Chains A and B, each alone.
Chain A
Amino acid sequence: MKDKKLLFVTQFEGLWFDALQSLMDLRKAGFNHTVFLHVIERDKVAMHRGKGYLKDEEVKLREMANVRFIDWAESLFEQGMEVGAYIVVGNPLPKIISTAAEEDVDLIVTGRHKQGKLEELYGGSETLDILERTSIPVLVYKYMLPSGKVNERPFEVPLLTMDWSPASEKAVEYLLSFKDVLKKVIAVHVINEKEFKSTSAMEIQSLRKENKQKLEEVCARFEKEGIEAESHLYVGSTFEQIEKAASEREATMIVAGTTGKNPLKEIFLGSVATKLTKHSVLPSLLVPANVKL
């Protein structure tokens, strides 16, 4: 079987070696090849008035990254893993996309990077930009739990958010490919208050029953693979209820399908994916609808 590849993007801000180490459980799902990527942002070395291109600064930043990557790579090589590394100068987004394409990776792992003023203003997200331009799932990895401890096995108890879109169906299929890492799956659907159009208790109960039934079907697919699964219905604002469910059910990660298209629309509508990447305390695995399985 061909090794699956994980692209680990680090700006040495949020993601360090302990984050990478906590993902080593993914070897059970075939991820035996890790590619490191560090992008030296152009404005750190670009032309400055009176100084020109800061070549010495570039060499310094490159070597700092190199020393770290060599140390990380040694640990992974000794475990029998395959490792590659890129240290490049440029803008992070295009470099992430081009490296992911060049290496043909199966998963991109990124931290929540510092945001620019426009992103702060509109709540935009580099992650959504990646999802718009590739068909590769992105794990926005927040590996420190609110307790201050490292989330040692993020894939152990994922909370799977289902909105019955084709993207969430793809998320189910993608998550099933991690069956050897999963311990329990928590399938959740949030019924928005707006869906309570009728005041008839009978109709509301039908809505509940219909959604519960669909969740049970999702659970059955995991149980068939020997993975424990449970279903829960929540009512209210989608993002808040997902966060609440994740906390109540002690999930280790949140998984959501996303169209990944039209990020501006997603930003202005405040999509769940945007909110997960920006605000969730847990890692978020975002699966595009066009993911290749």
Chain B
Amino acid sequence: MSRRVLTVDDDPDITIFVKTVLEENGYTPLVARNGETGLSMARDESPDLIILDVLMPKQSGIRMYRELKTDESLKNIPVIILSGIAKRTFLRSQEALTEFGDQPIPEPNVYIEKPVEPLELAETVKDLIG
């Protein structure tokens, strides 16, 4: 059975692009439009990898990532952050949340600032889940 990759992004152009790259490389794509649905799909579907945007309605990728990494059943799923938000901002925001009393969490496996080339995305996915 092919490996399943959950893409969480509110931009339909991006989800179509990622879905196409994943299918062409033999993976099964799953799609969620915001962090809230993404988290619920991650719990229901237990994907092999999550590709996560940051700036989204309902729940941002920053909060969703934190929830993933503090959930025993989800914390080992590798995560690629694919976003227009700078990596430095992502890391600083996690530091700020830690300062407010949340627990420290590890950095994402890979951070890619949009836009991404199809080949770069395909190779990154392959490196993480084969």
Contact = CB atoms under 8 A, between A and B. Distances in A.
A238 to B, nearest CB: 40
A139 B58 CA distance: 21
Nearest to A78: B92
A50 interface: no
A77 B62 contact: yes
Contacts of A77: 54, 60, 62, 85, 89-90, 92-93
A77 B62 CA distance: 8
Contacts of A78: 89, 92-93, 96
Interface stretch (A83-91, A164-172, A202-210, A214-222): A83-91
A43 to B, nearest CB: 23
Interface in A43-79: 66, 69-70, 73-74, 77-79
A74 B85 contact: yes
B84 interface: yes
Nearest to B99: A80
B86 interface: yes
A217 B89 CA distance: 48
B85 A80 contact: no
Given A77-B92, A78-B89, A78-B93, A70 B62 contact: no
B55 A80 contact: no
A70 B57 contact: no
Contact of B55 (A73, A79, A102, A103): A73
A10 to B, nearest CB: 15
B97 interface: yes
A200 B90 CA distance: 70
B75 interface: no
Q: Tell me the interface secondary structure of chain B in the complex.
A: loop
B63 A82 contact: yes
Nearest to B62: A77
A84 B96 contact: no
The size bracket of the interface on B is: 20 to 34
Contacts of B84: 66, 70
B92 to A, nearest CB: 5
A108 interface: no
A74 B89 contact: yes
B49 to A, nearest CB: 24
B56 interface: yes
Contacts of B90: 77
A254 B18 CA distance: 49
A55 to B, nearest CB: 12
Nearest to B57: A84
A82 B60 contact: yes
Contact of B57 (A66, A74, A86): A86
Contacts of B56: 84-85
A103 B56 CA distance: 12
A157 interface: no
A83 B55 contact: yes
A35 B85 CA distance: 16
A69 B55 contact: yes
Interface in A90-126: 102-103
A69 B89 CA distance: 14
Nearest to B83: A70
Nearest to A77: B93
A83 B58 CA distance: 9
Given A74-B89, A77-B92, 14 more contacts: A35-B57, A70-B55, A77-B54, A77-B85, A77-B90, A80-B99, A80-B100, A82-B63, A84-B56, A84-B57, A84-B60, A85-B56, A85-B57, A103-B58
7 contacts: A77-B89, A77-B92, A82-B59, A82-B62, A83-B55, A84-B56, A84-B57
Which 4 A-B pairs rank lowest in CB-CB distance, beginning with the nearest? A80-B96, A77-B93, A74-B89, A78-B92
Interface of B: 34, 54-60, 62-63, 84-86, 89-90, 92-93, 96-97, 99-100
